[in-house]
Amino acid sequence: MIEKNSSSRLRALLMAAATVIAVAACGGGDGGSGAPPNPPPAPNVTPAGGTVVSNDGKVQLIVPAGAVSTSTRISIEKIDPDTTTAADPLYLAGSTYRIVGDLGTLAQPATWELTTDAPLAMAAVVRRQSTAAPVNDYSCNASDGRPIGYEWVAGSNCPNGCRPIWGASPFIGNTYTLCVPTTQFWWDRTPPFCDNDPPHPNGLINTLASREGNEAVYDEMFNQYGPGALCYYRSPPPQPVLVNNLASAPLLTPCQINGNKLTCKVTKISPGVLSVFNDITPPSSVLLNILDQPGGSQQDPQVTLDANGNGTLRFVVTGADDRQADFAELWEMRLTPGGPSGSFPVTLEHVRLSTLTDVNPDPKIFASSSPSHPHASVPFNATDPLRRYVFARVYDRAGNYRDSGIKAVRRVTPVVEAGSFIANPATLPPPSGTTTL
């Protein structure tokens, strides 16, 4: 009897020991001996700065000291673009990367540097409204030793020698203005006309305005100043732009090109996808139509002034772009104050009269008016020159533009015929519509 009980206790002890061994093997219990978890990766961006390289080695994000206040770890992963981006003709192939981690808004701009397989052509595309001013190292008037280019300026005023092309438009908003060099027309009497040798010191491109579509201004300039050609300056093409896919935190940053290096200054790094877009194609068409003309003719457009010497030029601008038409402007060419005074070349001022938003729902088509949107207009009065030379300009989302032909709009003063009696009124028939008493 005693032996039987001893045997039972022994089996119970052996089973309990096996259970303890099994629990320990599974890491259970307070006295478990399992391996400790791996520590989290160390931050790669700190208040002292940091450099993050993409997993394919083609992108470097260089964060300067003072850009962030806390230490963070982020990564940059090469990914394939979504189908919409890949099909976009403006997309720069191989430029799509995902940001994992969040640095937020930077106190100092960081540098996003992409190495491409082939050299790039300069251009730009803007796809979303900007909420923060992009940073660039260009000045539209080449001041402060910086090269000429598109310059973002806080507020609505551009530096001397520059004019805004974005800022007043609803696409960018009113916080920042994109400034470009002031463009001037002139009548060149020295062949070769509109020459670019030597190059313009500020990088402007001398361009010939063809006679076709500009016959009126060619005839007037020829009659006043002799043989020549109408020339104008174009700004250098803008830079490519780095954008993200976040509607809640949009990014718009112009980039600089140096061979196969694309360098972009960024002021915010948030989780999302970044891609580069590149567009050098101007809108495919632009048409300026002057309204209120007999039979709709555009051969000799005119504005008739009222008895007080005032009138209104009503007009419509239409255009098209292969990707997205954005907005339009109406410009006037005027002789510069005090000129030409016999000097050559005869310089004409480039004056913007109106900025026009697109009311057409088709993104590829621009129209300044519709049945539900009134026509645009500018005032005329008796102090204006007999003819005013106007043209339209349509921009695409990249900042490329195309100009319409130049129209000479003639002001017309109505002739008021007043009847008067000479000698004896009784010998003359009364004026039409009067009553003889």
Digit-coded pLDDT (tens) for 324-354: 788 898 988 876 544 333 445 566 767 788 9
> Where do the structural domains in the chain lie, given as residue ranges?
42-119+239-279, 285-412
User: Taking the domain 42-119+239-279, which CATH number applies?
Assistant: 2.60.220.30
The C-alpha atoms of residue 370 and residue 269 are separated, in whole angstroms, by: 41
pLDDT at res. 7: 54
Confidence at 311, pLDDT banded by 50, 70, 90: very high
45 or 19: which leads in pLDDT: 45
Least confident of 71-80, 120-129, 342-351, 382-391: 120-129
Percent of the chain with pLDDT over 70: 64
Taking 80 as the threshold, does the pLDDT of residue 321 lie above it?
yes
Q: Would you mind telling me the total number of residues written for the chain in this entry? A: 437
pTM above 0.85, yes or no: no
Say if residues 139 and 151 touch (Cβ distance below 8 Å): yes
418: Cβ contacts below 8 Å, ≥ 6 apart: none
Q: What is the mean pLDDT of residues 94-118?
A: 90
115 or 225: which leads in pLDDT: 115
User: Taking the domain 285-412, which CATH number applies?
Assistant: 2.60.40.10
The C-alpha atoms of residue 364 and residue 320 are separated, in whole angstroms, by: 6
Q: Do the bridges between strand 302-304 and strand 407-412 make them parallel or antiparallel, or are there none, so unpaired?
A: parallel
Asked, as a colleague might, if the bond just before 192 is cis with ω within 30 of 0, I would say yes
**263-301 residue pLDDT tens:** 888 888 888 888 887 766 789 999 999 999 987 788 889
Asked if 42-119+239-279 and 285-412 have one fold, the answer is no
Taking 90 as the threshold, does the pLDDT of residue 381 lie above it?
yes
pLDDT at res. 288: 95
